[in-house]
Amino acid sequence: MIDFQAEIAGVVAGLPAIEEAGLSAADVLDLIEVPADSAKGDYAFPCFRLAKALRKAPPAIAADLVQQLGQKAPVGVSRIQAEGPYLNFFLDRALVARDVVGAVLEAGAAYGSATVAERRPVIVEFSSPNIAKPFHIGHIRSTVIGNSIEKIYRFLGYDTIRINHLGDYGTQFGKMIVAYRKWGSEEAVNAAPIESLISYYKKFHEEADSDPALEDEAREVFAALERGSEEELKLWQWFREESLKEFGRVYDMLGITFDSYNGESFYSDKMERVTDELAEKGLLEESDGAQIVRLDAYNMPPAMIRKSDGSTLYITRDIAAAIYRKETYDFAKNIYVVASQQNLHFSQWFTVLRLMGYEWAADCVHIPFGLVSLEDGVMKSRLGNVVFLEDVLTRAVERTKEIIIEKNVNTDDIEETARQVGIGAVIFNELANNRIKDYVFRWEKVLNFDGETGPYVQYSHARAASVLRKAGAEADTVAADGVNGECLSSDRAYPLVKLLGSFPAAIKEAGEKYEPSILTRHIIDVAQAFNRFYHDEQILVEDAAERRARIALVAAARQVIATGLGLLGVEAPDRM
């Protein structure tokens, strides 16, 4: 596919005025932008940066550049004009349509993908719930954002490793074991694992308010767990296995798998190496019986490596995990999709890694995201005010099924379509906005299928698939003879063509910024442009050339929507 922006940059960079201003071809490429108003062209070059060097006003520079270009129009450009401080470029619509639609049809599901010179490993750690606690709606953010980031990086040519770093270690498990022994039963846990365990955890905190000795008992039990006490280990392992069964149902509903479930406990025998190395490098010091690394020079509080009772903390295990992953996978990136609440924690232990002399610490990336709260406040598992993620997904599917029946939606399998659309709606809702924003969970918003939603995009895909079914065998052969671009140069077809053409750039930008909402926004735009084209221009017309060109555009749009949804972790039904 022709890179029209690069072609324009190459020609503009060779103009005398650009050379006089000292701009390189790369500078020019970075400055070229896409006008918000398509009436001002397909690309525009702003002249503000040249004003000081050339000692002219930007509008005068733009006019001069038009003269300097003369007959040297870049490939694919049909018209160039100066408008104010901008140099505007209008592309040959027929050429663009032939090039873009042909590229989509030729590449198929691989359109927009990339290859890297060396397929380096990229680790994406995401989801990471705590065992023996609810898998609630708050966990959906890390889960679906991380899943999409992993898919995008794999699509861009990296070897990805999906890690679910389970919260399966720490003082809270001392509390859980104490609570189970005092108020629990094996029968209750077997019947309802998470509900029972969280009720014990809640009970512990209620009782600890009036009996602080319980906290000391919990710390002693966790210390025994760390030492490998058989009785504590047996209970902990049981809690872990029961929790994973519960989590597994949710991951199955979301269609998410992992390459590793190595959680905090996996690194329990690897932390001594960390403390020894910190001591050898003169970074570790004692403070009130605890072992810390001072970070005053970096305007951060000390990083506590061991508590005064000898037990470890999150930061100790995270350092050990990073070292293990580098030695095991030799990653190019080690991505952590974890809430913004943990910003300080990540800054601290990334700094400790650098102080230890590990240059690859720069390849460890924290991807923060905003928090989910309920309308009556922040969710806290110890208080029991949580919304289970499994319940959200189940309710979404049930509500979708009701809508399908009410509206008599065309589908061969109501249950399957309800599953695809209901769960897709929840995922899409999570990825539709910038990840860093906090939001309040409201059922009516999650289950609203109108407007710029997942079901709308899925319906657009199903509509395109329906057109292709009606086209029959002709839809399978439209790419064979090439695409007649002249038939796709109308004001309804061309905006869709342009969006299909910029799809690879949207994927790349989403990967570079770790921001799936960029991709979400793009496929909403594609769906809207497709629906305008569908409503305003008849597809299966009598004229053979026009019919084949329009079928080709529909096929290309269907492919891009399907690929985009797939990279978000959303399925693309053929019938709705």
- DSSP, collapsed to helix, strand or coil, labels residue 524 as helix
**DSSP for residue 111:** T
Residues 6+ apart with CB under 8 A from 204: 175, 176, 178, 179, 214, 218
Ramachandran bin of 307, using left for φ above 0, alpha for ψ from -120 to 50, beta for the remaining angles:
beta
| CB-CB contact of 300 with 204 (8 Å) | no
Q: How far apart are CA 462 and CA 467, in angstroms?
A: 9
Residues 6+ apart with CB under 8 A from 565: 424, 454, 457, 458, 461, 523, 571, 572
Residue with structure tokens 């038009």?
Answer: 66
For residue 493, which amino acid is it? A
For residue 95, which amino acid is it? L
Q: Which two tokens stand for residue 186?
A: 């094996």
Q: How far apart are CA 569 and CA 393, in angstroms?
A: 14
**DSSP for residue 36:** S
Task: Quickly count: other Cβ atoms within 10 Å of residue 492's Cβ.
Answer: 15
Residues 6+ apart with CB under 8 A from 370: 141, 339, 340, 435, 436, 437, 438, 439
Q: How far apart are CA 416 and CA 529, in angstroms?
A: 27
Would you please indicate which residues are annotated as catalytic (active-site) residues?
Answer: 133, 136, 139
| CB-CB contact of 56 with 448 (8 Å) | no
Residues 6+ apart with CB under 8 A from 289: 308
**3-state percent helix, strand, coil for the chain, nearest multiple of 5:** 60, 10, 30
Phi, psi for 290 (deg, rounded to 5): -95, 165
| CB-CB contact of 9 with 29 (8 Å) | yes
